[in-house]
Amino acid sequence: MKKIVIIGGGIAGLAAAHRLQEEIDRGGSLDCVVLEATNQFGGKIATERFDGFVIERGPDSFISQKPAAVEMCKKLGLGDRLVGTNQEQTKTYVYTGKKLVTMPDGLSLMIPTKFLPFAFTPLFSLQGKARMALDLIIPKKRGNGDESLASFVRRRMGEEALRKMAEPMLAGIYASDPETMSIHSTFPMFVQTEKKYRSLILGMLARKRQQLMQKPAPPGPGKNHQPFSLFMTLKNGLGEMVDAVIEKSPDVTFRTDAKVQEVTKGTSTSWRVVLEDGDTIDADSVMFATPAKLSAGFLQPIAPKVADLLNQIKYVSTATVTLAYRKEGFSHPLNGFGFVVPRTEGRKILACTWTSSKFPHRTPDGFVMLRCFVGGALNEDLAEQEEDAIRKMVKKELADLMGIHQEPEICKVFHNKKSNVQYRVGHAALIESVQKELQAFPGLFLTGSAYTGIGIPDCIQNGTRAAESVIDFFSCESPTKD
């Protein structure tokens, strides 16, 4: 019987535990314990449900083009619980020039794929449109070196595309400064498209043609056969996934309020995990599914070079504010998914999702719900204010940007202090160095959002692969073999 301790009960740690449960189901002789320092599992995934409201503290959906999350939901028996975005309200807006302007149809992230909507959109100036069109003739980059998102977009599409589209949309996903975030580690599909097709526009058009020819079956929600949706969630919130992993992993021990004090080299077994309450667990393998800064703290006494590398990974603070209003007398039609705000507009929110229009089953009848995002790499101080200050600030922003003066029935502020990882230029090389140094410590593994992707599908895939590395490690004849 081989024992594995997973430190951290976020979605990556849970995905690893579920993969190990699958191995146990196949006859594997494994004993797995998941230790979570707080009183609940899920990490950033946390759903509050009351009086017909479904409120997400962290992410509210996951991208379906990366299949790991959809596949896990189906494995967990949640296929019929998957729901997509509202097919009748597909507009997204950009706040610019003191008004909400619709993003043109056919705009794939920041790449125009339809001529007429792009030509007639008021979102970009004539000069901005002309500069973006130069992507059709600009040569591709020489070499494979990493660069920032800002550098990449300026080079391919120009400054206006960066400020009005890439910065609020793409950098907003990572809450990052586009001048420092790695294009290779955050949006590798753009790098690959340029490499293969030279032009981003031509590359996106070619991909669309391929998709039409192949007509793949959409990764839809099981028996419901809903139309394809880029973003998916669960009927009762993403917390359903967390609960299902625990329920469907009966041979795994899940412990909350289990704060780890240190990890040391063991005696009869490879490693010893010491908890703050004095409990100790001897294990053949330890997986750190914690943020890089916490993993570095555990590793500093035993693997200082790994710890020093992990400490180079930066985190920033954000906050979300969920507001619910009575529909009667509400002043805005909420005819879309929401809007993003370019930094050049000088506002205090990054974006606003019109939750009740984007997804079903979020509110009881007679209510609407919005969710605003604050902070990030360029405005961390706004996210680190007290809840009352953030609440007051966001309500004023919504009054200015959307004309909402009605008092909300619910206004919940959620802090995410220093919890948003930053993939800066050179991130992939840094992680490669981490993995290389870690080879000197057989039985220790890393997983989570700090390494190869921050989204839910990325974390699930990363946790699953880490678990498979543990299984391979246990199956090796020599404990030192990688």
Does CATH number 1.10.240.10 belong to domain 106-197? no
For the full predicted model, state whether its pTM sits above 0.85.
yes
> Strand ranges (DSSP E) for 61-211?
62-63, 82-84, 92-96, 99-102, 107-108, 111-112
The closest of 291, 300, 292, 306 to 264, measured between CA atoms, is: 300
CATH 3.50.50.60, the chain: domain bounds: 2-43+240-313+424-475
pLDDT given at position 477: 36
Give the C-alpha separation, 380 to 271, whole Å.
38
The closest of 365, 339, 338 to 354, measured between CA atoms, is: 338
Report the 3 state secondary structure along 250-314: CCEEEECCCCEEEEEECCCCCEEEEECCCCEEEECEEEECCCHHHHHHHHCCCCHHHHHHHCCCC
CATH 1.10.3110.10, the chain: domain bounds: 106-197
Residues whose CB is less than 8 angstroms from the CB of residue 209 and which lie 6 or more positions away in sequence, other chains included:
none
Q: What kind and span of H or E run contains 415?
A: strand 410-421
The closest of 10, 1, 72, 3 to 35, measured between CA atoms, is: 10
Q: What is the DSSP letter of 441?
A: S
- CATH code of the domain occupying 2-43+240-313+424-475: 3.50.50.60
pLDDT given at position 228: 60
3-state secondary structure of 125: coil
Give the C-alpha separation, 303 to 286, whole Å.
13
Instruction: Using CB atoms within 10 Å of the CB of residue 207, give its burial: 0 to 12 exposed, 13 to 18 middle, 19+ buried.
Output: middle
pLDDT given at position 217: 52
pLDDT given at position 321: 98
- CATH class for domain 315-421? alpha beta
pLDDT given at position 223: 45
The series of mean pLDDT values per 10 residues for the chain, 482 residues long, is: 97 98 96 97 97 96 94 97 90 94 87 91 95 96 95 97 94 94 95 96 88 58 55 96 98 98 85 96 97 98 97 97 96 95 96 96 96 96 98 98 97 96 98 97 97 96 98 73 39
pLDDT given at position 306: 98
Give the C-alpha separation, 326 to 320, whole Å.
20
CATH 3.90.660.20, the chain: domain bounds: 315-421
Give the C-alpha separation, 293 to 309, whole Å.
10
Query: Are the beta carbons of 425 and 182 closer than 8 angstroms?
Result: yes
